[in-house]
Structure 1
Amino acid sequence: MKDLRWRAILIAGVMLVAIVYLLPSLNASLPAWWKETLPNDKIHLGLDLQGGMHLVLEVQADEAVRTTVERLVDEMKDTLRSERIPFRTIKRTKGGDIQVELADAGALDSLRSLVEKQFPILDWVAAATEEGATTVLCRISEKEAARIRDLAVKQALETIRNRIDQFGVSEPDIRPQGEDRILVQLPGVKDPQRAIDLIGKTALLEFKLVAEGVDPNAKSLPPGVRVHPMKRFDPNTGRTFETKIALKDRTLMTGEYITNASVRIDTQYNTPYVALEFDPQGARLFERITGEHVKERLAIVLDGVVYSAPVIQEKIGGGRASITGSFSMEEARDLAIVLRAGALPAPVTILEERTVGPSLGADSIHQGFLSMVVGSVLILLFMAVYYRVSGVIANVALVLNVVLIMAALAAFRATLTLPGIAGIILTIGMAVDANVLIFERIREELRLGKTPRAAVDAGFARATLTILDANITTLIAAVVLFQFGTGPVKGFAVTLSIGIVASLFTAIIVSRLIFDYLLVQRRVRSISI
């Protein structure tokens, strides 16, 4: 009797915890005190059930290395000038090396010493003198290049996560996949293209000087000048058209100093624009740039497109600037989001894209739920008819099994997918299979002439090892599927794993408790099996 009481307390405790975790999914209008003190996580539905987007992105990590090399080229130019080391050209080669052409071969040792002290991430590759010209090749070390690639992927992951959080998607799933890929799942997204544009926008903001007097349509351009597309807004017609503009290659400032970006309304034209705020270092840099280039045009370039190129009338302090253009309110908001979240350290490309509509998801829920109900009803009827009262005991355990599975999904914040529903249906069959093994062993013991209590003891003892062997091997397979499978396979593995543990609990502990209660407490003389 004492053993029965403790087992009953254990089962009651487990079921009470399960109900506590399951209630938020069944009743959305729980009282405030519940949400403050008790678990309120609901069962999360996968993309195939509630609709949404599935994206696999590839980070172009080599572009981050190329950008670093270009930055080093500019830094090396400034350093050589300040150290008074004469040079003719410094440029990045097609292979990604830095090529320095010295004006004086005698400066070779000075250059080597400077590279070793101030540019330790560069390896000295070669130096050659031909026809009076001394050329040096330097290259980013393999270790540093690998670090830059790895950092680019990690920064891209955090940047995309920040953008999506500000975009307002509930319960997004963003995680790395392999060395240079990112998996993004956005449940409930109603505008897939807007989400793709927001995620994929590099958002590299640059401030460059306009190359005055240079025709952007000319066949040849001066050194250090490049043509960019420029968006212009005509306030008279309210339309946007695209032209070309020549800019100097050198970037005076980037958007890395931005601390805030917000949408404002231009009262003159009643159009939105994006107001920028810089950190103290960025404010000082912007003030110095505008002070040194008064009466020159400063272009604001976003992802290679010029949005405005105003004339600097005076030194601008306070760390504020603005991006004007023909933005809609939605475009301005999205631009502010990507600028606040930061630029991607490297471009990303979409390798895989799947979109599931909400209506398809609702149909999947309906069909999956219908199949689960039909399968469960047929099993319940079979067990009750074939095993009579013992079948009813198995049915009680089966219902508790489903409750435990759904509660565990909510407790572990797992995602229920359509393959997950298939896993639940399979688990229901496996749970009944365990009871069938036990009941058949009990029948054999009764045919041998044993008493009902002895038959139950022997039936559970002999069938339990077989049930454990079968379920543990299946559990190992489910763990392997979860570890190495993709989204749908993982959903199946999650519910299968939870279901196996729950079915073992209900078949071995719950069913046994009911039999022991009837035989010990109620002193039943025969078993209906």
Structure 2
Amino acid sequence: MPYSLQSGIASALITLATTTHCADVDWLSQFPISLPSTVSSAKLCPFQGTELTLQMGKVYQDKISREQAFDQVQTVLGERLLNLGRVAVGFVPLPPNQFLVQLPDQIDQRQAVEQIIQRSHLTFRLQNPTTPQTESLLLQKIELQPKLDAKQSDSRQIEKQLAQIYQKLYGPPVLTDKNVIDASYQVAAVGHLWDVVLRFDAQGAEQFQQITQKMAGTQRPIGIFLDDQLLSEAIVSSQFAKTGIAGGAAVVTGNFDLEKAKNLAFQLQEGSLPAPITVLKTEAVQTEQCSSSPQV
């Protein structure tokens, strides 16, 4: 499957299509990200649905304290709860490491939990120079990817196998979501598909220009990963060997329908979690008798 990375209007075009095409970014077609839900800082009453007790695990990086990580998790979870739909959601921090979340019955509980606890860490990684093992790894990837796309029952095992393959095919992250200051979605240039638009800060824009210059003409792709899953990959044209791709923005173009593009944009807009979140307790709740004093 060929991939390309080409210049648009101050942007990079990352295509997942089976044929290579050029397109400029139509900024007028971008849709604003809305936050229609309401999130309560106290327990809801009356309420009918599921109460989740979430627990924060060990911080991924030692650069921030547990207290700072807790504050970041609270911010990210709050943003994610705002994007669940036109419903009221309860969200009560329980320091030092727990949160209470109330999900009304009209929300798809399983999907909501997946959205809430996913790390959503975006990274750009460069494919390693070709080795005798590269072709074998690529063949394994081609064999496993359709099984994952088909959402087979052993999809988690397939994800682990693919993650191991990518660990060998790609180097460490050279650019991450900490340099993404905005994410949105727009109608794709062709077909009934949607794109996801990333905008970098000054440091990210410079790093993106450097890595595209480094990879230009090498035929080795840049991989874009969400957590350990490959989101897309692209080969940079040799025309950028001298300058790289400037402008501080990238358009991820692939087989995204509106819902997938919107969810991905939301995930990147909200940011990644600095520590893992697990569901400690799940309880079906129905309350109708509300006390006059605020609930904790």
Q: Same fold (TM over 0.5)?
A: yes
Between 1 and 2, higher relative CO (CA 8 Å, sep ≥ 6) is seen in: 2
- Structure 2 CA distance for partners of 1:217 and 1:271, relative to 1, 3 Å: same
Alignment deviations for residues 57-113 of structure 1 (CA, whole Å, 9 cap, x no partner): 111134333xx5xxxxxxxxxxxxxxxxxxxxxxxxxxxxxxxxxxxxxxxxxxxxx
Matching residue's letter, 1:346 = A
Please point out which of 48, 55, 61 is paired with 1:64.
Answer: 61
Alignment deviations for residues 278-307 of structure 1 (CA, whole Å, 9 cap, x no partner): 122221221122122212311001111111
Which residue number corresponds to residue 203 of structure 2?
281
Identity among equivalent positions (%) equals 26
Matching residue's letter, 1:172 = V
Q: Structure 2 matches for 1:163-312, cutoff 5 A?
A: 163-168=80-85, 170-187=87-104, 189-214=106-131, 215=133, 244-245=165-166, 246-295=168-217, 296-312=220-236
SS in 2 for 1:312: coil
Distance in 1 (alpha carbons) for counterparts of 2:170 and 2:127: 6
Is residue 293–residue 312 contact of structure 1 (8 Å, CA) maintained in 2?
yes
Distance in 1 (alpha carbons) for counterparts of 2:210 and 2:192: 31
Distance in 2 (alpha carbons) for counterparts of 1:61 and 1:311: 36
Q: Provide the aligned C-alpha RMSD in A.
A: 3.7
How far has the Cα of 1:231 moved from its partner?
8.7
Distance in 2 (alpha carbons) for counterparts of 1:240 and 1:312: 31
Alignment deviations for residues 483-514 of structure 1 (CA, whole Å, 9 cap, x no partner): xxxxxxx58xxxxxxxxxxxxxxxxxxxxxxx
Is residue 121–residue 272 contact of structure 2 (8 Å, CA) maintained in 1?
yes
Alignment deviations for residues 109-141 of structure 1 (CA, whole Å, 9 cap, x no partner): xxxxxxxxxxxxxxxxxxxxxxxxxxxxxxxxx
Is residue 169–residue 186 contact of structure 1 (8 Å, CA) maintained in 2?
no
How far has the Cα of 1:276 moved from its partner?
0.9
Distance in 1 (alpha carbons) for counterparts of 2:262 and 2:203: 26
Structure 2 segments unaligned to the other structure (5+ residues): 1-40, 153-157
Structure 1 segments unaligned to the other structure (5+ residues): 1-43, 69-146, 220-226, 362-416, 425-478, 483-489, 492-529
SS in 1 for 2:169: strand
Which residue number corresponds to residue 76 of structure 2?
159
Distance in 1 (alpha carbons) for counterparts of 2:48 and 2:115: 19
SS in 1 for 2:75: helix
Distance in 1 (alpha carbons) for counterparts of 2:265 and 2:106: 20
Distance in 2 (alpha carbons) for counterparts of 1:231 and 1:271: 24
Alignment deviations for residues 254-296 of structure 1 (CA, whole Å, 9 cap, x no partner): 0112122122333434322322111222212211221222123
Matching residue's letter, 1:250 = P
Matching residue's letter, 1:149 = R
Which residue number corresponds to residue 336 of structure 1?
265
Is residue 103–residue 109 contact of structure 2 (8 Å, CA) maintained in 1?
no
Distance in 1 (alpha carbons) for counterparts of 2:126 and 2:179: 18
Is residue 186–residue 195 contact of structure 2 (8 Å, CA) maintained in 1?
yes
Is residue 51–residue 189 contact of structure 1 (8 Å, CA) maintained in 2?
no
SS in 2 for 1:250: strand
Higher helix share: 1
Distance in 1 (alpha carbons) for counterparts of 2:143 and 2:57: 26
Please say which structure displays the higher CA radius of gyration: 1
- Structure 2 CA distance for partners of 1:355 and 1:303, relative to 1, 3 Å: farther
How far has the Cα of 1:176 moved from its partner?
2.0
- Structure 2 CA distance for partners of 1:230 and 1:289, relative to 1, 3 Å: farther
